[in-house]
Structure 1
Amino acid sequence: MKFTWILDNLPMIGELTISHLFYTLLPTVIGLVVSIPLGGVAYRYRRLYGVIVNISSVLYTVPSLALFVLLPKILGTRILDPLNVVIALTVYSVALMVREVADGLASVPHEVLDAAEGMGLTSMQRFFRVELPVALPVLFGALRVVVVSNISIVTVAALVGISQLGSLFTIGFSRRTFVPIVAGLVMCLVLALVLDRLIAALGKAVTPWRERNMA
């Protein structure tokens, strides 16, 4: 099998790439939505910080393949149900982000918090209008790590029959040729680089004050 295999299978590679993007981005977004209030609780109630962070750290150490296999038994889903992958990747996303959310909120200067309190903002208003915006650079940094991590972990789902770029690895292994494997590796690297740059650009766009302060 020569590299012409890639040209002959571009439509399939395109479909696998779109699928890979879906399984990467959806859990990342859900994980962010879950991590913000969870990290907020860890930040606000310091006694819970260690508990929440330690549990999330333990969850991240669970091997992805084991989680893909265990979730159907826990959820009552089929082994090939894409929901298992989405939930597993969401768990990993939360495990990586919750500490960063809590630490990002903790990095907000006390003078800023005092000024917000002096303006009469409620605790909820202070969180969404002051603390969370100031913590955004940390959150975007965490997002970049999570996206790259998820791009890698998603490939393992090919072993339980979920089609995405990891499927190119199994194709290459079954046919004893490196061409599909190389194609899968290159596409994963391209996705990681493109998404990382996009998130970095978005982070700069929504935190213009940070660029002015650094100038």
Structure 2
Amino acid sequence: MTWAIDNIDLLATATREHLGLVVVPIALSLVVSVLVAWLVSRTPRLAAVTTVASALLYTIPSLPLFLIIPVVIGTSLRSPTNIVIALTIYGLALLVPTAISSTRGTATPVVEVATALGYSPKQSFWLVQLPLAGPQLLAALRVVSASTISLATLGSVLGVAGLGRLFTDGFQRGLQEEIISGIVLTVALALTCDVLLVLLGRAALPWTRRSAGERA
């Protein structure tokens, strides 16, 4: 892999650029999906409609969405903002249904106990239902992370920097090593982010470790 060694600076830059494209969509997807779940938590019909509507968003083809967004918001076709917004939409399509179902799926006796202790519906959601839904949200977030990192490579078709340019440039110039480098770095970035999410999940959800230990 002499090409990779000779172009280590290019690979590092492309990785940083790619990371910059995906961090915001992943974080926004989590925050917004939890807020949406809270807003619809007391209205079953609205929760059902929101779940279906968000799931349908994932059926929108990525390239047309990348092209529609700049027309709607008035950005240039090559603006990274278009990719960030599109990736956030796809992240929400995956996370919103999970956020709604996992928080609404909290065992009724647990919610009733919280109510008996004087918790308001708002307190019950944020202090009881959301923490209990944490493992399911984390699992969905890991899927969103891998999906977002993969989809972001398509941004190179529109001239947006990132690991995707290693694919387009490699195909155009017939450089197999550049293409392989792009694949390896994309997979490595996805695996690294997944490990980080697992570690963050263990730190944020310590009771899940205790439960696993008790079952063992």
- Structure 1-normalised TM-score? 0.95
Name the structure 1 match of 2:49.
Answer: 51
Q: Quote the offset at 1:91 in angstroms.
A: 0.4
User: Cα deviation per residue 1:18-54 (whole Å; 9 max; x = unaligned)?
Assistant: 1111111111111111111212334431111232122
Deviation at 1:190, TM superposition (A): 0.5
Deviations 1:85-110 (A, max 9, x none): 11101100111000010111023122
Q: Is the CA contact 1:31–1:93 (under 8 Å) kept in the aligned structure 2?
A: yes
Deviations 1:165-184 (A, max 9, x none): 00000111110121111000
Q: What residue is the counterpart of 2:124 in the other structure?
A: 126
CA RMSD, 1 decimal: 1.2
2:199 is matched with 201
- 1:143-162 alignment, distance < 5 Å: 143-162=141-160
CA deviation map 1:69-127 (0-9, x unaligned): 11111111100111111110110011100001011102312221111111111111111
| Contact 1:19 1:164 survives alignment (8 Å) | yes
Give the counterpart letter for 1:72 in structure 2. Answer: P
**TM-score normalised by length of structure 2:** 0.95
Equivalent of 1:113 in 93, 111, 128? 111
Give the Cα–Cα distance (whole angstroms) in 1 for the partners of residues 125 and 51 of structure 2. Answer: 20
Q: Distance in 2 between matches of 1:45 and 1:205?
A: 32
Q: Residues of 2 paired with 1:106 and 1:127: CA distance? A: 9
- Of 96, 99, 106, the match for 2:97: 99
The SS at the match of 1:44 is coil
CA distance in 2, matches of 1:7, 1:47: 57
Contact 2:51 2:100 in 1 (8 A): no
Unpaired runs of 5+ in structure 2? none
Write the distance in 1 (CA, Å) between the matches of 2:116 and 2:55.
Answer: 37
Separation in structure 1 between the aligned mates of residue 167 and residue 26 of structure 2, nearest angstrom: 23
Corresponding residue pairs, total = 213
CA contact (8 A) 2:55 2:97 kept: no
Q: Which runs of 5+ in 1 are unaligned?
A: none
